[in-house]
Structures are given as structure tokens and as C-alpha cells.
Amino acid sequence: MLKITSARVIVTCPGRNFVTLKIETSDGVTGVGDATLNGRELAVASYLADHVVPTLIGRDAHRIEDIWQYLYRGAYWRRGPVTMSAIAAVDMALWDIKGKVAGLPVYQLLGGASRDNVMVYGHANGVTVDDTIDAALEYRDQGYKAIRLQSGVPGLASTYGVSKDKMFYEPADADLPTENLWSTERYLRVVPELFAAAREALGPDIHLLHDVHHRLTPIEAGRLGKDLEPYRPFWMEDAVPAENQENFRLIRQHTTTPLAVGEIFNSVWDAKQLIQEQLIDYIRATIVHAGGITHVRRIASFADMHNVRTGFHGATDLSPVTMAAALHFDLSVPNFGIQEYMRHTSETDAVFPHAYTFDRGALHPGEAPGLGVDIDEELAARYPYKRAYLPVNRLEDGSMYNW
């Protein structure tokens, strides 16, 4: 038995906030897990420190599945982003420990590599269509095979996905939520223009992606999907909020543009109908917000049975610990589609030294035992938590809308 002797929650802000769990065992082997929930970080930190950690001490770190079930069923209150991020952190740390004890990278424990490396997509954005195309050309020159395109919308001061900084995009940018304005009509005019220009500038071989970020109704999404069809997008993401999974039927009836959804899902139940009825093509549920490696394995196997592939979330609020875990998973899972990749700042990379590497549009998790990522606690302590919120969104008449 490999006893869990301690578990610490570390909150740090090397440019942005991260919540990390570090588990220690009787043999001195340690593991790390990510528990970051953007804009609600301290809720998960408390869930872990106050309610999960006391129940972990003395348990066998090797019993990953049993501990997962203990934390999920044993809480009585199932699911939800706070609970599932906390469970994910424990789960990632235990896989890290198991890999270190075995002397193997986690992808080997998951069945070994199904591919040579993990195709990622980068984020090209700009205030205008032309700026966005310039940014996309830079990504292509760096070797990216897939690029997400987001441009500003004429008449709107700011919108999701458009950054002041070309290298980094960080939406949680203020200690109280920033207010954005939204107009569906203006937006629906600009996106087809953006894709027409991008196809022309980038040629037929580059995969082009777009994130609607929950802004449309199903019929509007159907129309946008149809308008984009001539430019062969890789996917249209989060076209509508997905509380109502049936909404995707209507979108499907109107377009052959592939659909991706799920970065805010916490469990397989959030996607059950979407997957079972093949209403989507890519599931974006990711390790940290959907219960860890143990649970995304279930989601991915269920998706595989229905010809749905993975396309995990990989924005900057997913720490290098989640990125490492995702890459081990992506390398091994049979029905992999693509992995999102937004570069972390050098401050973040220094706090989380990692074995994964980028080469011409693809990432590889590396061969270090476990997840191949750690947290430099001394350095982390130099960056205290700083409250930061995601923006909120309003329509032009002042009504609250989805951000």
C-alpha cells in the first residue's frame, strides 16, 4: 500500500491564477493535479482543502478508481464545476504518482501511443479581418496545421477572442467583470467574410476553426454553419449554450459544418444525448473540469462508439498540469481529433516546469515518468492570488447575454 500522507492546495498567480493540488505518499513519491476554475478559483481551493484533503489522508494512492468513486458518489452532491474540478485534481495527481512509481509516462499506462504526436490548433485573432489573416499567416509559418480564427466585429468595442497582445490571450482581465456589448446581426456579417479571406490567404490544407462562444440561437447557428460550408471549417465551436442538448438537432438539420461543444461540461451526462444521437462531431470536455483522466476516459470511450472525436479545451486557464495530462490522454486515445493550445507566459512556464514540447504544429507529452510536470513551490509563493473575473456580455439594449 502506498499511503497518502499529505495533500496541499497551492494557489499562485504567475500572470494568472492557478490552483494546484500536490499529493505526497509514504514512499516520498509526489503527484500534482490542476484544480483551476477561471474566476471561481477559491471555491475549488476551499472544496479541496476543507472537504477533500481530510478524507484522503491514509488512503492507498494506487486505488485511483476507488478514490474517484469515493469522491463522486461519496459527496452525495454530484457533478458541478467546483466538485468535478476538485475530483479532477486528485485524479491527475494519482495518475502522476502511479506513473512515477511504474517509471512510465502516463500515456503508457493508458495503453501506449496511438499516434506520433498531438495536433494542436493555435489562436489567430485581430481587431479587423486583415489583422486576423496576418496573425494566421504567422501561425502557419510557425508550422501550425490548424488555426482558430476570431476577429473583431465592426461596431462592437470588444468581443470574445480578440486580444490586445498578439502572443497571449487572457480574458480574465479585471478585478471586477468587464462589460462587453454584443450584436448577433453584426457578428453574423463578419464571420463569413473572415473565413472567405482566410481560405484565400491560407490555401486548402490548413484546418480553420471558429469559436462562437455560446452567442447564437440554434437557427442562427444553422445559418452561420451553412454560410461557412464553402470554406470547409474544421469545426464551429459552442454555437449555442448546451444546457438543452436537443438544440443541436436543429443546427444539424441545417448544416454539414462539424460541431464542437463541451468546454464547460463536467461529466458524461452533460453530453449524453449529444453523443448518443451524434449531434456533435467533437467533444471538448477536458481533464480539469470533467473529473480527471478517469472520467474523460469514459466520455471518450462513449464518444468513440458514436463516431465522435475528442477536441479538448486548452486555453491559458488550464494550467500546464492539465496540458500535460491532456497530452498523455490525446496521444493514447483512439478517437483523438485535435487539441487546443494557447501558449502560457514564461512566468507560468517557470512555475510549472514540464516535459511536453512543441514542434511544428504538434505537441508531445515527453517521456518523463508520470505526467512530466511539477510545481516550483518557492517560485509559486512569489505570486500571490489576484482576484480576476471573466467579462460579462450585454446586448445593445442593456439585456444580460451569454459571454
Query: Which residues would be at the binding site for Co ion (CB under 5 A)?
Result: 211, 263
Where does 277-392 have alpha helices with state H?
A: 292-305, 320-332, 346-351, 377-381
CA distance 44 to 40: 7
Burial of 60 (0-12, 13-18, 19+ CB in 10 A): middle
Alpha-carbon span 31 to 273, nearest angstrom: 35
Q: What is the per-residue binding string for ligand EZ4 in 258-297, x denoting contact by CB under 6 A?
A: -----x----------------------------------
Q: Which of these ranges, 45-53, 59-67, 137-145, 311-319, lies near ligand EZ4 under the rule CB under 6 A?
A: 311-319
Residue nearest to ligand EZ4 (CB): 315
Residue 21 CB, shortest distance to Co ion, in Å, is 25
The H or E element containing residue 310 is strand 309-312
Site of grid cell 476554475: 37
Site for ligand EZ4 in 200-219 (CB under 6 A): 211, 213
- Radius of gyration of the chain from its Cα atoms, rounded to whole angstroms: 20
Question: Least distance in Å: CB of 325 to ligand EZ4?
Answer: 16
Task: Give the residue with the Cβ less far from Co ion, 9 or 280.
Answer: 280
* Catalytic residue of the set 107, 160, 341, 383: 160
Q: Rule CB under 6 A: choose which of 317, 320, 326, 333 binds ligand EZ4.
A: 317
Q: How far apart are CA 68 and CA 103, in angstroms?
A: 23
The verdict on whether 160 is a catalytic residue reads yes
CB of 260 to ligand EZ4, least distance (A): 9
Angle of helix 320-332 relative to helix 292-305, nearest 10 degrees?
40
Amino acid at 232: R
- Please name the helix (run of DSSP H) or strand (run of DSSP E) that holds residue 180, with its range, or none: strand 179-182
For the question of residue 213 being annotated catalytic, the response is yes
Residues in region 109-168 near ligand EZ4 by CB under 6 A: none
Which of 171, 258, 365, 372: binder of ligand EZ4 (CB under 6 A)?
171
Catalytic residue among 123, 213, 214, 354: 213
Q: What residues act catalytically?
A: 160, 213
Task: Point out which residues bind ligand EZ4 (CB under 6 A).
Answer: 38, 171, 211, 213, 263, 313, 315, 317, 340, 390
